[in-house]
Structure 1
Amino acid sequence: MSNEKPKAQVDKELNEALKETFPGSDPIAVDRTEDEPVRPIDRRPPLIDKDLVEKLSEKAKSEQSKSK
């Protein structure tokens, strides 16, 4: 049995891969499947909130004023 895909299907996949490739210098992603996670499933974004951002901003400002 042959694992080769019909030319029309390969052309369609190549066209789709070219559309998804950015920037143009990146190799095309022909072998990528849709079910692959972009990042590990157990990885979550960091938890931050407005209070933490303000606290860190004040800390950075005070450290910057000390260095002047």
Structure 2
Amino acid sequence: HSLKGSAGQFGEAALEASAALMEQAAADADIATMVAALLQLEMQGLTLAARQPGPSEKTGKPDDV
């Protein structure tokens, strides 16, 4: 539930939808849908992580300094 709300706060609609799917599947004890939602959440997490700036982009310094 918290992930769904946080995703909505940050405008991450796909992440919010997957979290909502997971929440409903858990309430329904629907294991197959929970697995599918978990895979979606994992892919969206990787996508979000890839969009984050690296250390040199954050500080303006090379990574090895």
TM-score (structure 1 length as normaliser): 0.29
Q: Which has the higher contact order (CA 8 A, sep 6+)?
A: 2
TM-score (structure 2 length as normaliser): 0.31
**Which has more helix, going by share of residues?**
2
Give the number of the structure whose alpha-carbon radius of gyration is greater: 1
